[in-house]
Structure 1
């Protein structure tokens, strides 16, 4: 397995071989650490500030809904991994990249998106934004008007009335009567229907229809992002079942496929004669080449480390978390001849789709616990077994912590009761007394309860 990337990034240095960190090297290490969302923002900023960089649409990967791909093996559970919906921020940024070719407009749009509140309203003062961005206030307003018509429609409105008006305009349902209704939403809140009918110039039936139309609109286009977010829509890495009946690793989305160097423009600008212009172009060219190489190196690093994790945790792909083996970042660093901190940066904020679901890469690093017959076992595997044992219990057979200790010993784990309690509480699972009470309560009501609350208000999941 090639590890030449270590010669460039994070190579282990002895005390006598100090490494001077340049600004570019620090940026390269920062790129290694970024999540997909942070990397997308970074790329947008780099492309906006460098005319020699051009952006391409990423290659098609998965359709909406369940992940689609060729057959990876019999009953491959990876095919059931959900490609969760993009966050609204990601959708807006993607639409902005396609609809706004101008770099300044993109910079304005990205700033407006960052300024939205929890409902999707723009509460920031536009005059202040104009000073911060050094652009005319009219240009900010023009970008905002376009942003409001992206999906979801109504984002970046400054008021509820404007949010509704834009949605109605897009549906071709905005007329003078509806404009009058939106201008008098306070009357609607007071249920002053008599005055509303007079202001809008409609009868009671028409007003009822108009109110029904308003209720069908989305008053808070950003609100869905307040739900528990999907960790990643397209995984950084995907484990596939190969043609030779072995597991292999492929990239989920390669950021280096979306950015390139505009060579034709670079060649045209190469003929400039003024020294200051040539220096500026040289800076652009150097920055563009650095970004392209940094993104490619990030992807190579991620693939090398991911393949090694797959090699070390091969049993996981067949049996799940209960088959995890002890593994530390130091061990991987020594195997690949990289620095520990480089491994930490590479796996941070990265996710892999496996036959058992979507996992952070850090999940595969687990502390060592004592096993029977002088073996070493994975602490994460012990947690997985605890979760399974409790998941399979019933109201008549609730396992105490001592019984869990005994069951784990039969599975090859030597853990104290105190350690089992620590792991159980870390999983958010209540004591046997709390679980028994919840099971019995569920039996009496005829409902299946997944969580309850203790008298102190703590959530007690039955299944984790």
Structure 2
């Protein structure tokens, strides 16, 4: 039976589909959302170095703009991200992606001073930085620049010389930032090819350096060196230092037997021991303390809340169009003209992306303040459970955009300085079936109960009962977890600490 054969002719089909193309400019704009103001400032400085058409001017500092009553917002809805991208010569994708399309609808602190957004709370966003010249220089409280190693080497140069100075330098190199010697003396002696006794002798000299206790190999030796310096290292103090584990446990009865002292002498010895520094090296060196700079300011107003970007940390970026016209008029080859066109497109994009970043931050922060108004009015006990998705749904954005906006950014208000992530906490169900409460509110309640426990130490079971009475339906293991997260010891540890305090 003959087989039928089929011929497949080539065909040309035209199909239409949608896809999201991540251009370098769009990736840049997304990355800007996750940066803090100070990080954006560094990013802008790099872009200005690469692009001759970008200029930066210092932000206008007219004092804390939050002191002024914000005007009623009167402006049209800002352009969508798609319109801005098209106007800037970029791809027509939205900045709000995971990676899915979304539009930005915000009010910018870069707009006029009265620009803002309407809402139930009367949230208003306005540009301007807070304070500048009248604020204290927090960097002035930073630690000294001299490192512990430099401080010790300077002393070694006047105390020893020759081969001993070389040994001392090697020992100092093995001392950590807390002031402890981290290497074995035998290993050092073998490495340097010198007798162990000579290394021990040089270490003994280092033990006489400032700060007292530096070069110790453990906590007991560190405290013993300080006791000797204070002329308090008698046999009783030596036994006390040899049994620091009993001091930590608060075993007073056994300590009195070992040290052969009465209650009064033991209390005096423990008081002396507490006056010593367990980490003598920490007072030197290290990285200078860095003050956290807020990215946002929030203040209470008659009409609601005023929310502003801290423009004092952001230089004003401008496109130098006169320079572009000058370069264009100069002519040049095709490559030069293409490069100049790319620089103009890049500059326009950066300016628009920075403006969109501010609009996004203001919009997210406004919704956070709206949902957590009770916290700003009454404190942490009234902090509500909140998730990224709640904010994202409320402002019709993607959850990933909210996550980027709240990363590495701090909000300054009358109650202090808070990271935006602080306001997103899990929910604890109410014991009476009412509205759920925030985990931060439960932690605050635990901290308050323990702070006021008095002579009667509260166990975790007792804390559960007291929290249930306050309306918090919480398990014992959760109480223990929150207590440990707060850095508070168990009831046994607090009882021992109370015993040691009573020894004073």
Query: Normalising by structure 1, what TM-score?
Result: 0.57
SS in 2 for 1:315: helix
Within the candidate set 310, 313, 326, 1:268 is matched to 326
Q: Offset at 1:71?
A: 8.7
Distance 1:225 1:37 in 2: 22
Partner SS for 2:384? coil
Cα deviation for residue 339 of structure 1 reads: 0.8
Contact 1:31-1:39 at 8 Å conserved across structures: yes
Contact kept, 8 Å, 1:352 with 1:361, in 2: the verdict is: yes
1:258 equivalenced with 2:319 (yes/no): no
Matches within 5 A, 1:6-155: 18-60=19-61, 70=67, 85-86=138-139
Q: Which position in structure 1 is the counterpart of 2:187? A: none
Contact 1:401 1:421 in 2 (8 A): yes
Which of residues 433, 445, 448 in structure 2 aligns to 1:385?
445
Which residue of 2 is the match for residue 132 of structure 1?
none
Q: Deviations over 1:163-203 (max 9, x none)?
A: xxxxxxxxxxxxxxxxxxxxxx79963489xxxxxxxxxxx
Note the C-alpha offset of 1:284: 1.3
Moved more, 407-416 or 297-306: 407-416
CA distance in 1, matches of 2:483, 2:383: 18
CA contact (8 A) 1:255 1:295 kept: no
CA deviation after TM superposition for structure 1 residue 44, in Å: 1.1
Contact 1:316–1:323 (CA<8 Å) still a contact in 2? yes
Count the aligned residue pairs: 298
* Residue of structure 2 equivalent to 1:94: none
Equivalent residue number for residue 189 of structure 1: 158
Deviation of 1:327 after TM superposition, in Å, equals: 0.6
SS at match of 1:226: coil
Q: CA deviation at 1:444?
A: 3.1
Q: RMSD of aligned C-alpha atoms?
A: 3.5
Distance 1:290 1:443 in 2: 66
TM-score (normalizing by structure 2)? 0.53
> Quick one: which of 423, 445, 450 aligns to 2:482?
423
Residue 442 (str. 1) matches residue 495 (str. 2): no
Q: CA deviation at 1:68?
A: 10
| Alignment match, 1:199 | none
Q: What are structure 1's unaligned runs of at least 5 residues? A: 1-15, 73-77, 90-117, 121-158, 161-184, 193-222, 446-464
Partner of 1:331: 390
Change (3 A) 1:69 1:18: closer
1:31–1:298 contact (8 Å) kept in structure 2: yes
Task: List gaps (5 residues or longer) in structure 2.
Answer: 1-16, 70-129, 162-283
Which residue of the partner structure matches residue 349 of structure 2?
A: 290
Please give the residue correspondences for 1:200-279 in structure 2 after superposition, counting only pairs within 5 Å.
Answer: 226=287, 229-230=290-291, 232-233=292-293, 235-244=294-303, 246-253=304-311, 257-274=315-332, 275-279=334-338
C-alpha distance in 1 between matches for 2:446 and 2:290: 26
Greater RCO (Cα-Cα under 8 Å, separation 6 or more):
2
Pair 225,266 (structure 1): closer, same or farther in 2 beyond 3 Å: farther
Describe the shift of the 1:321–1:59 C-alpha distance in structure 2 as closer, same or farther (beyond 3 A): same
Aligned-residue offset at 1:440: 3.3
The answer to whether the Cα contact below 8 Å between 2:34 and 2:405 also exists between their aligned partners in 1 is yes
